[in-house]
Amino acid sequence: MRFYRESFALAAAALALGGFSSMTAQSLSEQDQKFIQDAARGGMMEVHMGQLGLERGASPAVKSLSQHLVNDHNAANQELAALAKQKGVSLPGDDAQMAASTPFATKSGEDFDKAFARAAVEDHQKDIAAFEMEASSGTDLDLKNWAHLAEAQDLPK
C-alpha cells in the first residue's frame, strides 16, 4: 500500500510544481487516454472496496487493509483527477454501488475476509500490469513518468 501513498504523493508534488506539461485529450494516444480512464475507475473501485471492507471485514488485518485502500486511493484519485484535468481528459463518474457487484459483497465474516483479500491481491496484480504497460509503452511522457514512479514505489527496499 505504500506503493500508492508514496507514488501519488510524488505525483502531486510534480503537479504542484508544474512538472506536467499542458496537452489536450485529442493529442493523447488512445492508450494514454484508456490508461487514465481505467486508473480512475480502478481507483474509485478500490475506495468502494475499502469502504465495504471496513463495514463487513471481520479481522483486524482486513479492516486495516481496507482503511489503507480508502486513504491511499482517495488521495490517488484526487491526484489523477488533477493530471486528467491538465491533460483535458474527462474522468468517468463515480458509482457508489460498483463494489456491490464483487463476489465478496454478499459474504460475511471469515468468508468475506478470504474473498476480499483474494480480490485485493488479484486487483493489485492487474493494476501493476497496467502501470507497467503505460510506463513502458505509453506515449505521453507525463503519464509514463507517473506510471513508472507508481510502479517503482512498489519495489522491495
C-alpha to C-alpha distance for 54 and 52, rounded to whole angstroms: 5
Q: Which domains can be identified in the chain, with CATH numbers?
A: 2-9+28-94+105-152 (1.20.1260.10)
Among 103, 95, 135, which residue's Cα sits nearest to residue 120? 103
Least confident of 34-48, 78-92, 142-156: 142-156
Enter the DSSP assignment of 140.
-
Tell me the angle at which helices 141-152 and 109-137 cross, rounded to the nearest 10 degrees. Answer: 140
Q: Dihedral, CA atoms, 147, 18, 46, 40, nearest 10 degrees?
A: -80
pLDDT in tens, 100-143: 888 899 999 999 999 999 999 999 899 889 989 998 899 998 88
Is the pLDDT score of 18 beyond 50?
Answer: no
Is the pLDDT score of 14 beyond 70?
Answer: no
C-alpha to C-alpha distance for 103 and 83, rounded to whole angstroms: 32
Is the pLDDT score of 29 beyond 50?
Answer: yes
C-alpha to C-alpha distance for 28 and 111, rounded to whole angstroms: 43
Determine the pLDDT at residue 7.
Answer: 47
Given pLDDT bands bounded at 50, 70 and 90, which one contains residue 26?
A: low
Determine the pLDDT at residue 109.
Answer: 93
pLDDT in tens, 37-83: 999 999 999 999 999 999 999 999 999 999 999 998 898 888 889 88
Please tell me which residue, 114 or 18, carries the higher pLDDT value.
114
Task: Cell 494516444: give the residue.
Answer: 29
Determine the pLDDT at residue 152.
Answer: 62
C-alpha to C-alpha distance for 132 and 144, rounded to whole angstroms: 9
For residue 80, give every residue at least 6 positions away whose Cβ sits within 8 Å of its Cβ, in sequence order, or none. 8, 36, 39, 40, 43, 91
Determine the pLDDT at residue 24.
Answer: 55
Sign of the CA dihedral 123, 93, 142, 66? negative
Determine the pLDDT at residue 16.
Answer: 43
